Amino acid sequence: MVLFKTATREMLPPTREQARALFAQGGANTWQVTIVDVDGTRLTAVLMAYEETSAADLSAAQAILDSVALARHCDPLGYTRYWVAEHHNMPNIASSAPDIMIGQIAAATQHLRVGSGGVMLPNHAPLTVAERFKVLEGLFPDRIDLGIGRAPGTDPVTSYALRRRQDDPAGDDFLDRFRELLLFEQRGFPDDHPFRKVIAMPADVDLPPIYLLGSSGYSAQLAAHVGAGFSFAHHFSDFDPVGPMLTYREQFKPSPSREKPLAILALHVVAADTDAEAERLASSVDLNFARRRQGDYKPIPSPDEAAAHTYTAADRQLIAQNRARLVVGTPDKVLAHLEPLVEATKADELMVTTMIYDHEARKHSYELLAKAFGLKSRT
């Protein structure tokens, strides 16, 4: 606790050599989200960086450190939120413990809200989630968000390994777990319930705001019903986002924690100074997507590797499908693409993921978008 309270923005992460002594090497990535407020408009942009490493010189440990570094980079640019995800047993994804990452990122920044995008509730006892996020909220008041996902974020065998000491490792019990999480927060268990006297500690700290993550209409309806925030994953969903986003807003019921709906639309964006440079950077995304759809989870390739790759007709078809969701170009071109989509979905916030090879180019993409959205820098 003292570490978190005394940490400042001058606190530097370990060196690469120190990190490699602590973590096994191998290509990896981690998922971050940054939300941007745009003064004078309804639109709030959310920038989400999907931190992937190259096989040549980066490790899972370095991806974790880059996540903290990216948050520190975005903090003075005017961004509002930064979220990290939960994935397990994926060779190119390092983000397996979002609550730990949230604490480190919040300690290394001054302004950002930091949250989970999200905690995969099927993997955790609701009491554990409640207490960990209450502790985070106590350490960083009004700076924490609790995003919750329905999927396990892994394969079936790993999911069983995560849950095998819980009561029911099989089946979809998300709703039961979610209700239990809310009951711990509300202290609303019936008198005859075995958890009636169990209090999620610290007792005098509320859970941070809750968001449900989803890629279909079901999560939108559930988020509306319970009065939570909602984030739609258009960056990987095959569903048209307009229906779920409007459904959430139309069916939203106020709750003790949220009076009005808050709908976030997530997309994949690559911004650069020129269209040609943006397309070059996005070539890594193309090859990475084609590989993943074929079950090949290598670290994200470089633009040079993508240029040298021999693509099959099936590869090109997959890439074309993904390009329908991918926004690539200069900041002006990106904005011209996003504004009609925001209007159609009535999104309150726009979430942008940038899965490119070069970390410095990723940081520059965020700088360009911050300027395009007119964010006010902070010191």
Which tens digit of pLDDT belongs to each residue from 231-277? 999 988 888 999 999 999 999 999 988 999 999 998 999 999 999 99
Give the model confidence (pLDDT) of 150-180 as tens digits: 877 777 787 778 775 555 545 678 899 999 9
Whether the predicted pLDDT of 109 surpasses 80: yes
Domain 2-372 has CATH 3.20.19.10: no
**CB contact at 8 A, 273 and 330:** yes
**CB contact at 8 A, 61 and 366:** no
Residues 313 and 106: their CA atoms lie apart, in Å, by: 45
Whether the predicted pLDDT of 91 surpasses 90: no
Mean pLDDT across 22-51: 39
Whether the predicted pLDDT of 118 surpasses 70: yes
Q: Between 267 and 36, whose confidence is greater?
A: 267
Query: How confident is residue 373, by pLDDT bands cut at 50, 70 and 90?
Result: confident
Residues 264 and 125: their CA atoms lie apart, in Å, by: 26
Give the model confidence (pLDDT) of 264-276 as tens digits: 998 999 999 999 9
Question: Is the Cα torsion angle 280, 283, 284, 285 positive or negative in sign?
Answer: positive
Whether the predicted pLDDT of 80 surpasses 90: no
User: What torsion, rounded to 10 degrees, do the Cα atoms 269, 271, 274, 276 define?
Assistant: -40
- Determine which helix (DSSP H) or strand (DSSP E) holds 264, and give its type and residue range: strand 263-271
Residue 173's pLDDT is 84
Lowest-confidence pick of 40-44, 48-52, 110-114, 220-224:
40-44
pTM over 0.75: yes
Residue 164's pLDDT is 57
Whether the predicted pLDDT of 48 surpasses 50: no
Mean pLDDT across 127-142: 98
Matching residue, tokens 């040549």: 56
Helix (H, G, I), strand (E, B) or coil at 148: strand
Whether the predicted pLDDT of 101 surpasses 90: yes
Lowest-confidence pick of 12-26, 95-109, 186-200, 257-271:
12-26
Residue spans of beta strands (DSSP E) within 3-120:
29-37, 44-48, 50-52, 79-84, 113-116, 119-120
Helix (H, G, I), strand (E, B) or coil at 377: coil
- Compute how many other C-beta atoms are within 10 angstroms of the C-beta atom of residue 17: 7
Residues 267 and 235: their CA atoms lie apart, in Å, by: 4
Helix (H, G, I), strand (E, B) or coil at 47: strand
Residues 292 and 135: their CA atoms lie apart, in Å, by: 36
* Residue at 276: amino acid letter: A
In the structure encoding, which two tokens stand for residue 263, read together?
Answer: 């709908």
Residue 4's pLDDT is 23
Helix (H, G, I), strand (E, B) or coil at 311: coil
- Compute how many other C-beta atoms are within 10 angstroms of the C-beta atom of residue 171: 8
Residue 11's pLDDT is 33
Whether the predicted pLDDT of 201 surpasses 50: yes
